[in-house]
Amino acid sequence: MKKLTILSGAGISAESGIKTFRDGDGLWENHNIADVASPEGWRKDRELVLEFYNQRRRQLHEVEPNDAHKLIADLEKYFEVQIITQNIDDLHERAGSKNIIHLHGELFKSCSCNNRSLIYEQKEDINIGDKAEDGAQLRPFIVWFGEDVPLMKEAAEKAREADIFLVIGTSLQVYPAAGLIHEIKDDCLLIVINPNETGFGYGERAVVIKETATKGMKLLFDKLINMK
């Protein structure tokens, strides 16, 4: 069975109604990214950061996987599928996908602010005073800007193993995730689904589908199955 590795980004979740931020204005839900997604922001105003992610978590309860998520899950019938996602939602899981690496963390988890290896399921709000077992304040289990990406090594290994590497819903502007396409084998088929121009140096080797995630997956699905 061929190995299909999928790198997904904010574009696939946006079609389910999850708002994203644009690097151009540096804002996420009208908040400066540095204020809500950095260690400095956490040190400055924990209450603001917790409420920001509490709102995101509440929103996640209200959305559902879209057709792109579901078609990706269906591909497990034909390929050995590995998803590497930059998204912090659980929509791939809810669609039925099994093998998922969350590079940037998971919204439905929390961790100790002193020890990110103390991890807890977190479906509801995190409040000031909610403690981990080490006595430290709970924080969102999110990789903030300026923090290490612990699963990057595992993701790079999966990229190197791929026979087909599909990039969907991301313009690959955030590193180190953007570097994953440089890990794939020379004979790996590279496919990119993204409605916008991307400038991450894949040259002419990529098959580019300039569509949204859902429309692109519908166009690609049968063609992929014929490659199994």
From CA 140, how far away is CA 143, in angstroms rounded?
9
Residue 199 φ then ψ, to 5°:
-125, 40
- Name the 3-class secondary structure at 128: coil
Structure tokens at 137: 């304040």
Q: Which of 61, 92, 104, 182 is catalytic?
A: 104
From CA 102, how far away is CA 88, in angstroms rounded?
7
| Beta carbons of 12 and 169 less than 8 angstroms apart | yes
| Beta carbons of 38 and 196 less than 8 angstroms apart | no
Per-residue CA distances from 123 to 59, 61, 120, 141, 186 (Å): 11, 8, 10, 12, 42
In 3D space, the residue among 193, 195, 198 whose CA is nearest the CA of residue 217 turns out to be 193
| Beta carbons of 60 and 107 less than 8 angstroms apart | yes
From CA 79, how far away is CA 99, in angstroms rounded?
12
SS3 content of the chain, % helix, strand, coil (to 5): 35, 25, 40
104 is catalytic: yes
Which residues are the active-site residues? 104
